[in-house]
Every structure is written in C-alpha cells, then in structure tokens.
Structure 1
Amino acid sequence: MREDSLLAAHKARFAPWLVEPMLRNRATYMKVAVAAALINIFALVSSLFTMTVYDRIVPNEGSSSLIGLSIGLVFVIIFDFVLRLLRVYFVDIAGANIDHDVGETLFSQLLALRLDQKRGSTGTLTGLMRELETLRDFFASVTLTAIIDVPFIIVTLAVIAMLGGVLVVLPLAMIPVVIGAGLLATPSLDRLSSRSLGDGLVKQSVLVEAIGSLETVKAIGAGPMLSRRWQSALVSHSESSLGQRLAAAIPMTVANSASTIAYCGIIIVGVGLLRSNTITTGALLACSILCGRALAPLAQIATLLSRLSATRVAYRQISALMETPTEGPEGDALHPARLEGAIELRNVGFRYPGAPERALDSVTLGIKPGERVGFLGRVGSGKSTLARLVLGLYEPEEGVVMIDGIDVRQYAPAQLRALIGSAMQDNVLIAGSVRQNICLDRAAVDQDEMIRAAEISGTHRFMGQIANGYDLRLADRGDGLSGGQRQSIAIARALAGGPQVLIFDEPSSAMDAQTEADLIARLKPEVAGKTMILITHRTSLLALVDRIVILDGGKIVADGPRDAVLQRLARGKAA
C-alpha cells in the first residue's frame, strides 16, 4: 500500500524533482527568452543591410548613407555580442541552479533508499548519478535555446517571402525533410542509447569494483579476470556508442545538406528572377543570407532529436531511482530526543532480496533498558541481520521491531541511528580525517568527547604517535590502517556522544588477544547501565554481557543468563 501511494504521488506530476527546480528559475529563463528574441531580430539586420547597400547605396554612390548605416550596424553588432554573452551566462546560471537542486534531491534519495529495494552495483548507481548531467544539459540549455529559436523560423521565412516571393518555397520545402530525418532516426537512437547507457554502466561497475578493492584484487590475483571483464565492457560500449553516434549524425547531416540545397536553390532560381527584374540583386543576396538563418534552428532541432533519445533513457533510469521507496513512515516521523533502550522483536521474519531462505524466522525477543545481550551462532544464523533490523536498515517481512515500545518504522531513520552507537562488521571508514570519522559533524561530539571515546576504544594510543594525529587524512575505506586500527576508530565513533543503545558486531575480530583484553577492561564501565547488543564469536567478549541469545538457522535456540547458557554450551561440547 505504501509503495503504491508513493508511485501514485510521483506520477501525479511529471518529474517534480526536475520540473520544480526549473520553475524556480523561470525568472532567469525569461531573461534568456528576451535575449534570444533580440538576437534573432538582430540577425535580420545584416541581410537587410546587404540588400540596402546593393540596391540603394551602390547605384546612387551614397557614401554618407553607407557611413550612417555602418555606424548603426556597429551598434547592432555590439548589442548582439553583449546579448549572446548574457544568454550564455543566464543559461549557465539556470543550469547550475538546477544541477544543484536536482543533484541534492537525487543524492538525498540515494541516501534514503530502502536497502531491500536497492538495485544495481555501486558502479551502476555511480553511473546513474553521472547521467544527471545529460538531463541538466537537455532541459536547462539545449532545449531552451532551440525552443526559443524555432518560432523565429516563421519570422525569417516571412521576410524571405516579402523580399524574394517564390524563393521562400526552397527553405520551406527543406523543413519537413530535416524533421522527417530526425523522426525516422529516433527509434534506432532510442535502442542504441539504451544499449550504450547499459554498457557504460557495466564498464563503470567494473572500474569502481577494481579501484575500490585494488589491494584485494592484487592479493588474490583477480587482475586477469577483471581485465577480461573490462576489455569486454570496453568493446561492447565502443560498439554501441559508435552506432549511437552514427545514428545521431544522420539527421544532423541531412540538416546541413538541406541548408546547402536551399541556399544553392535560392541562388539558381534567384538568377532567373533577377533577369526578369522580379527581384533586385540586394534582395537575392538578402534572401540567400536569410536562408541560412532560417534553417539554422532546424539543425538545432536535428541535434535535439538525436539527444532526446539519450535524455529519454537517462530520464527513465533516474526516474526509476526517484520512485524507489525510501525509508521512514509516510506521514510525520517521530524525532526522539533520547532513547530509554527497550528493544522488542515480535514474531519477526525476514528474507534478503533474492535469497532462497529466511535469515530470520519467527523471532520473538525482548531486551530491557540497560540490559546487555550477547548473540552467538554459526555463520549465517541471523545475528547481523537482527542488528540491521534494529537499526532500521531493513524492514521485516512480517512481525514488528520496536524500540521503547514504538515500531522503528515510525522513527525518522537518521534521528534514530544518531541515538544508537553502532560498530558494524565491515568497519568502513569514510575518506577524510580521523577526527571527521569519529565526530561525523555531530554537534554533541566536541574535542573532549572525541578524545574520551578514542581513549576507551584504544584509538588515542596510536593516534598520539602519528605526526598529524586526529587530522590524519584517510583514504577510501581507511586504506593504510591495519584492521585493528580501523576497528578501534569504528568503536570510538560508536561511543562518541554517549548513546544509550550500543550495537557491536564482531568489534574485536581484527585485534590481538592483549588489545582485546584492554578494550574489554575499558568498555566495562562505559557500557554499564546501557542497552547493548553484542554479536561475537569470541567468548572473551561475553564478559561485557549479562545475557546470551543463541541463534541457529534464523531461530532462537537458547536464551538465558550468561553463565547458565555458557555452562549448557560447555556440557553440550563435553557430551
């Protein structure tokens, strides 16, 4: 029901994420329209100047009149120059504003995507963001200029008709030829543009995967395999792009040829009219100049039609992303100032998209405020999945996950996660300084709080020995640091601000025994009185919890006080 209502809301208006920013810049567009109109009017002046010179000045040797006309033409040229610069400036201003607004909306949509609705790899999504430039250029500049210039074709043809009479038939006959060529090429362009975009996204995906995991690729010898994928993607993308460019060149070439035919036709027919004294020499020259002016917007239309296919494909892709359901409730979300820490799962079932079996199956569990619970189980038993559901990263297929008696789907996701300190299994760090990775621009985390959290996690020990300290710039995902150091920073990030709810997923898997023992000793007073979910395979970390839950096959198979469950496990192993 929720997805249907979201889809209906988006379809009620055509691409509101694109149209609304354009409407906000309509004042700028009006300035562009006025400048374009004056430019097109000034374009008539040169042809009229030529006609006047040949018909009036040359026969009468009117040098003084020529000087006056020349001075007037200089002013027109200056105004035309200024107006053309202003048009480019205003179009770029509008384009930059639209690019900013639409880009911000699209990025926010990307961050708010429900993970179970995410489609495509990281490289594919990155490529889609790049397609935003195609939309911006089409709707903000190319289209605007062409639409404004097209009506002046009629004005220019009217002037040709007044000056040369029957000569207007020649450029007029070329108009349907140019438009027809563009329309005939459109189906092929649509097909080739779609294929080219798909091939480009595949190429982007391989590139992002290789760069993002370069160390692993080298270590495991995956270079040849990725090289073959890259070469295959290159060949496929080159072929589709070549076909797209050739198909796009057809209407543009037809437009250029039509312009040449019309121009030459006017000269040929005009000579006959000139001999019969139907038109003057100046009128013939003026008509030949105006012919090019009349058909120039048609060349823009031909270009526009060729780019329309690529834009249509990009729009469909981005629109699909914009229509993907996002996190959070449909109505007003709850923004809690703090959490008590009561967590409850009622008959929760969950299956990852495309997975054959459930990760969690009919799980019912309650955690009291301030209770510290350790989760044990084999790989794939559902421990990390349970943590993700508590964080609201995924929605359960059935049942409900509640924090403080409220369904987590009713909370504003960002606000909820800001009140939960989480250190997930991947320990991904963000490109930037260590300080930024711990503080995350949170107002509540000042320098003293950052150092306090870093001392507890053990980060302060090795940061104090580095020249740049907390201002050390990290590469993507924290490359350059050891696994234990990355874990330490991730734990400091989770502890900063003193959240009431903590979620740790294998927090010491990359640490040696002594470092882990020191961490446990520092964590004990910190986690006292706080709700904690601890996922681990290491029994030493269980000193931090007072209750243990064992999962197997997505179901709870044991739940009780820590010592009682550990004794039961010991007896089971002994047996």
Structure 2
Amino acid sequence: MTPPADMIDHPRPRFAPWLLEPMLRNRRIYLKVALAAAMINLFGLITSLFTMTVYDRVVPNNAYASLVALSIGLLIVVVFDFVLRILRAYFVDLAGADIDHDIGTRVFQRLVGIRLDLKRGSTGSLTGMMRELETLRDFFASATMTAMVDVPFVVVTLVFIAIIGGAVVWVPLAAIPVVIGAGWLTRPALDRLSAKSLSEGQSKQSVLVETVGALEMVKTSGAATLLGRRWSKANRAHSDSAMRQRLVSTIATTVAASANTLSYAGTVVAGVFLIADHQLTTGALVACSILSGRAVQPLAQVATLLTRLSATRTAYRQINTMMDQPTEGPQNEALKPARFAGRIELRGVEFRYPGAAEKTLDGLNLVIPAGQRIGLLGRVGSGKSTIARMILGLYPPQEGLVMIDGTDIRQFDPAYMRARIGTALQESVLLSGSVRENIVLDRPGIDDAEMLRAAELSGTHQFMGQLANGYDLILADRGEGLSGGQRQSIALARALAGSPPVVVFDEPTSAMDQQTEAALIDRLAAELEGRTFVLITHRPALLRLVERIVVIDAGRVVNDGPRDQVLQQLQRPRAVA
C-alpha cells in the first residue's frame, strides 16, 4: 500500500529531537573527524610543495642530498596521512554506529507504542519504512560526511594556488560554479525521485511481506497469479524510478568529474603561457596542476553528498511522520499499578474502526465487578472482540470511558497495565524462537517453575514435556509446524503465566478437539477462581467457566444476567448464533 502523500512531500524545518540529540552527543567525535580532515588537507598542500621544490631546486642543481631530505620528510607526511585517514574512517563509523543504535532503539519503541487507530499503511509499508533507518545510518556513517569538512579547504587551496601560480587560480575558480550549479540544479529532481522511489519500494515490500506471511494460503487458494501481477507492477515502477534517480545523480557526479579534468588541463595550458612570459616556474606549474584537482575534488564529493542527502531527507521525513504521532498512554507521567483488583467498567463507549462506515460499539455500558467471570456472546461482527481490545487499551474509545478499578485506562502506562492482564486473542500468534521464550517473553518474576505451571494448565506440557529438547524447541515464524491447537495451548500458557488478576480470552479453544478442550476447562475452573475473567466464545462447553453472560448485538448490550438464566433464554427460537 502506497503511503499518503503527506508522509513524503512536506519538508520539516528542523531536525527532530530523536535525531538531533544523538548527533549532538557525538559532537566530540565529529570534532575529531574535522581535525583529522583538516590535517589531511594540509598534508595535501605539503605534497604539492614537495613537487615544486624538486622541479625548481633539486633538478636544476642536482641537489641529491636535498632530495633525500625532502623524500624522508614526505615519507613521514605520508605515514601520518595514512594513520589520520584510518582514524577518520574509524571515528565516522563509531559515531554512525552510536547514532544508529540510539535512533534505532527510539524508532522501534515508538513503533511498538504506536496507537493502532492512527496506524497508516500495511505491514509491508511499515517494515519498509523501518528499513529506511539504513539510509540514515549510511549517511551518518559514510565517509561522504567528511566532504562537509573538506569543502572549506577549497578556499585554502585556491589561496595557495594564487600564491604559487598567480593568475592560474582563475582556472579552478571558474570550474567551481559549474560543479556547484550541476549539483544545485539536479537537487529538486533528486528530491522528487527519492520520494517516489521510496514510496514504490514500500509498495513492493508490502507485496513481498504479504506473500511470505500467507504462503500456505497463496499456494492452496491459487493467489500466486494475483500477487505475482502486483509484484511485477510494483517491481517495474520501483526499477523505473530508481533508474531515473541514478541517472540524475550521475549527471551531477559526471559534471564534477569532467570539471576536475578540465581544471587540471586548463591549469597546464594557462601555465605554459605564464612560463613563456617568465611569470611561472615549471615546478610551480606542476604544483598548481596538482592543487587545481584537489580544489575541485571536494566539490565532486559534494555532488555525491547531495545525492545521498536527497535520499536521507526523504527517509527522515518518512520516519519523522511516525515519530510525530502520539503514542499510547498519557503524554505526562503515567500510572504504573502494582496490581489490579479487577473491576472493569465501560461507560457510554462508542467506537468506529478507522475507515469503517458504521460504529462497532454504540453507547455500550458494561460493569464487571472484581473477581467476576463473564462470557460475551453475540453474532459475528457484533463487537465482542472490540470490547476485549477496549479493555486492553489497544484502541481508545471515541466517546465514553473504559476504566479499571475506577481509573480511566488512558492514565495507565500501557505496558504495566497489560502485564497485569492475561490475554489470549482469536489468532494465536507465536514468535520465532524457543517455546520457553514464547511463554516467558523475558518477563520478570516468571521462572521455570511458573512456566511449567502455566504449561501444565494450558495443556502445553502434554506435548512439550515428551520431547528431548522440549521447551527449547525452536519455532519458525508464527509457530509454523505446530497444529492450531498446539499454538493455542502455548498462547494460553503465555497468558496464564504470572497469575494475572485479570484474564481476557477470545475464542481460546477454537482449534482444539473436544477432549482437549474438556480437560483444559477442568484445569481452568480452579485457576480462575477469584479473578476477573472475560471470555468471548461460540463454544458452549467453555461457558462452564463463567457465572454471568452478556449478549452483544450491534455494539450494544441486549441481554445480561446469570449464566443459566441467559442460556435458557438463548435456547428459544431467537437464540444468538
């Protein structure tokens, strides 16, 4: 899915704190880079002086002793130049790695904390945007950054040429506006093409992620033709824009290279006439020809820098759009509850999913006392799963309040709140890694004993306890290779680990057989005593776990009462499917 135009078309007037702060923290390193670059440029001037001295003093006078001394001095300069170039590259990479780590951490935290109602673009678009972090890192960790330090020395080099060669300085001076003009004139086109290439690259990434994530469906349903056509279209569009971008950037760099050659040749031609007028020596001409190339060379690097800068600015705008979005939880200091009593209340809640025409919840009111176990029933699309998402704070209500223990959940720190709610939603998504990691999730306080207790409750231990590598079994993406029931068991173990005071299950046994489900219900009956339990299901057997049933229809509560009483009413002809 192509991102909206406002994500890529409007420049930001200044660097955002998430980018500026890491750069300022590394300013000492960049000062070292600048010092090393300055010394390297000065050593370049010394090399030209060596050449001029050899031609003007050593060759006419056969001063071999002076040549040896000059050569030793030049060798020392070359050694120092070599060391400084290595150090410069090291410091640039060091600063780039630190900035990359800091920015990468901040952007990932913002991605995890993004409000789902404000999320834009498909999964592929978001992963493509995260990939643009590589563009930022390449810019700040690239030796091209040193071009900004080398450019001021163009003036120093020109002054040096003027001192040695006099009027010869006009030749490289004339080449400078040509190089700068080429880079400046191609910059607007590069900006447009970088934005277009990024957008089309994300479209291609979106098709790829969608295909890989649903490969079984693609094979069994014959969707390969449709996705193949989408991939070909996105690939052609991206290749075309990338080719145009490379062509425009090549124009600027080629102009710079040609100007460098013409500057060298023009210096030689002009120097010949000055030598004939006895205004210049042969050594001075050779030195000036060397320096004229060095005067234009940093500007050639600037042309490359402008190419990188266009891609970097586009990536920055893209990422900054996400970084500017509000995150979950309060903007000020959030509440971090140690534990919940478990009273849940939804008061006048109205909610419509982004882009939806109708409200999913329409003035819904629901109170769940602490420690009560309730079941939510209703037709498909009635709003049951949305209620679970509201309780978890995944989506904020557009109207009304969602409260836990009398406090609006928007005041809580989302991570702290959800750590005290055991959750198993409709789709049992597992992570790549071991079964142990999928249950524990690096949560403090969940040791092996607690993991095994939760695994026995959910039924995971019945099939994992019999394997040699057991809980260290490495799962593929999303738990591929396990049955649906096994994935649900692991997801239930993850939800029950740590004995959370509030438990929310949405169709927790939809992939299990009746025997496995019955055994799970027997184990959960004692486990859920005294906890607030919200169950969403179409499986009648699971209703043994609840004491109250709430029937939802069109986003409203249409029936609410003790389990047996409501079940009797539902057995009439107007029963809820």
Class of the TM-score when normalised by the shorter of the 2 chains: over 0.9
Secondary structure at the aligned position of 1:250 is classed as helix
Instruction: Report matched runs for 1:108-507 at 5 Å.
Output: 108-142=109-143, 144-507=145-508
| Cα deviation digits, residues 145-180 of structure 1 (max 9, x gap) | 111100100000001001111111011111111111
Would you say 1:569 and 2:574 are equivalent positions? no
Instruction: Report the residue type matching 2:523 in the other structure.
Output: R
Contact 1:142/1:304 (8 A) holds in 2:
no
Secondary structure, in 3 states, of the residue corresponding to 1:465? coil
Shift of 1:442: 1.2
1:468-494 deviation line (CA, Å, top 9, x unaligned): 100000111111100000000000000
Q: Is the 8 A contact 1:435 1:471 kept in 2?
A: yes
Number of aligned residue pairs: give it.
566
SS at match of 1:396: coil
Q: Deviations over 1:165-219 (max 9, x none)?
A: 1111011111111111111111211111111111100111111111111112112
Q: Quote the Cα distance in structure 2 between the aligned partners of 1:227 and 1:33.
A: 50
Q: 5+ residue gaps in structure 1? A: 1-10
CA distance in 2, matches of 1:296, 1:195: 30
Shift in alpha-carbon separation, 1:20–1:574, aligned structure 2, 3 A: closer
Q: How far apart, in 2, do the equivalents of 1:288 and 1:241 lie?
A: 37
Q: Unaligned stretches of 5+ in structure 2? A: 1-11
Shift of 1:224: 1.4
Separation in 1, partners of 2:507, 2:36? 64
Conserved in 2, the CA contact under 8 Å of 1:91 and 1:140? yes
Question: Is 1:57 aligned with 2:58?
Answer: yes
Displacement of 1:226 in angstroms is: 1.0
Q: 1:524 to 1:571 in 2, by over 3 A?
A: same
Indicate if the aligned counterparts of 2:342 and 2:502 stay in contact, CA closer than 8 A.
yes
SS at the partner of 2:358? coil
Alpha-carbon distance in structure 1 between the residues aligned to 2:13 and 2:133:
22
Show CA shifts across 1:327-372 (max 9, x none).
Answer: 0101110000000000001000001000101110100110000000
**Worse overlay, 359-368 or 309-318:** 309-318
Match of 1:100 in 2: 101
Return the alpha-carbon distance in structure 1 between the equivalents of residues 38 and 151 of structure 2: 11
Report the residue type matching 1:201 in the other structure.
Q
Task: Supply the AA of the counterpart residue of 2:137.
Answer: R
What code does the residue aligned with 1:246 have?
Answer: L
The structural deviation recorded for 1:572 is 3.5
Shift of 1:220: 1.3
Deviation at 1:245, TM superposition (A): 0.2
Aligned residue in 2 for 1:7:
none
**Maintained 8 Å contact 2:365/2:556:** no
Question: Is the contact made by 2:569 and 2:575 (CA closer than 8 Å) also made in structure 1?
Answer: no
Distance 1:40 1:574, change over 3 A: closer
Say yes or no: does 1:37 pair with 2:15.
Answer: no
- In the TM superposition, residue 12 of structure 1 has moved relative to its aligned partner by 9.8
Contact 2:424 2:491 in 1 (8 A): yes
Distance 1:243 1:574, change over 3 A: closer
Report the alpha carbon displacement of residue 89 of structure 1 after superposing the two structures with TM: 0.3
Q: State the identity %.
A: 64
Deviations 1:206-258 (A, max 9, x none): 11111111112112111111111111111111101000000111111110111
CA distance in 2, matches of 1:326, 1:62: 75
Deviation of 1:381 after TM superposition, in Å, equals: 0.5
Distance 1:13 1:39 in 2: 31
The alignment partner of 2:572 has SS state of helix
Q: Distance in 1 between matches of 2:539 and 2:467?
A: 30
Deviates most, 119-128 or 403-412: 119-128
For 2:386, give the aligned amino acid.
T
Question: What's the offset of the Cα at 1:137?
Answer: 2.5
Q: Distance in 1 between matches of 2:474 and 2:454?
A: 19
AA matched with 2:408: D
Aligned mates of 1:13, 1:178 — CA distance in 2? 27
Name the counterpart of 1:66.
Answer: 67
1:142: how far off? 4.8
SS in 1 for 2:226: helix
Shift of residue 270, structure 1, vs aligned partner: 0.6
| CA offsets 1:31-84 (integer angstroms, 9 cap, x no match) | 111111100100111111000000000011100000000000000000000000
CA distance in 1: counterparts of 2:13 and 2:288, whole angstroms? 48
Where does residue 3 of structure 1 map in the other structure?
none
Please show how residues 534-545 of structure 1 align to structure 2 within 5 Å: 534-545=535-546
> How many Å separate the matches in 2 of 1:130 and 1:351?
31
TM-score normalised over the length of structure 2: 0.97
Contact in 2 for aligned 1:47/1:286 (Cα 8 Å):
yes
Q: Match of 2:9?
A: none
Q: Give the counterpart letter for 2:20 in structure 1.
A: V
Secondary structure of 1:206 counterpart: helix
Shift, 1:141, TM fit = 3.4
Q: Distance in 2 between matches of 1:95 and 1:555?
A: 54
Indicate conservation of the 8 Å contact 1:135/1:311, yes or no.
yes
The Cα of 1:98 is off from its aligned counterpart by: 0.2
Deviations, residues 454-476 of structure 1 (Å, cap 9, x unaligned): 11100000002222100000111
The 2-side partners of 1:510 and 1:549 are apart by 24
SS at match of 1:533: strand
| 198-207 or 303-312, larger mean C-alpha shift | 303-312
Q: 2:552·2:559 contact (CA, 8 Å) conserved in 1?
A: yes
Report the secondary structure of 1:326's partner residue.
Answer: coil
Q: CA RMSD in A?
A: 1.4
What is residue 4 of structure 2 aligned with on the other side?
none
CA distance in 1, matches of 2:526, 2:189: 68
* 2:49–2:287 contact (8 Å) kept in structure 1: yes
> SS of the residue aligned with 1:572?
coil
Residue identity matched to 2:253: M
Measured in 2, the distance between the counterparts of 1:273 and 1:547 equals 103
2:89–2:143 Cα contact (<8 Å) kept: no
| Structure 1 residue 135 displacement after superposition | 1.7
The residue number in structure 2 matching 1:6 is none
Letter in 1 for 2:56: D
Deviation at 1:123, TM superposition (A): 1.1
The amino acid that maps onto 2:47 is S
Aligned-pair CA distance for 1:574? 8.3
Q: Contact (CA 8 Å) 2:426, 2:507: kept in 1 or not?
A: yes
- 227-236 vs 488-497, which moves further: 227-236
* C-alpha distance 574-348 of structure 1, shift in aligned 2 (>3 A): closer
Q: Which amino acid aligns with 1:478?
A: G
Contact 2:144–2:301 under 8 Å retained in 1: no
**Is the 2:422–2:495 Cα contact (8 Å) retained in structure 1?**
yes
The AA in structure 2 aligned to 1:289 is: I
**SS of alignment partner, residue 170 of structure 1:** helix
Letter in 2 for 1:525: A
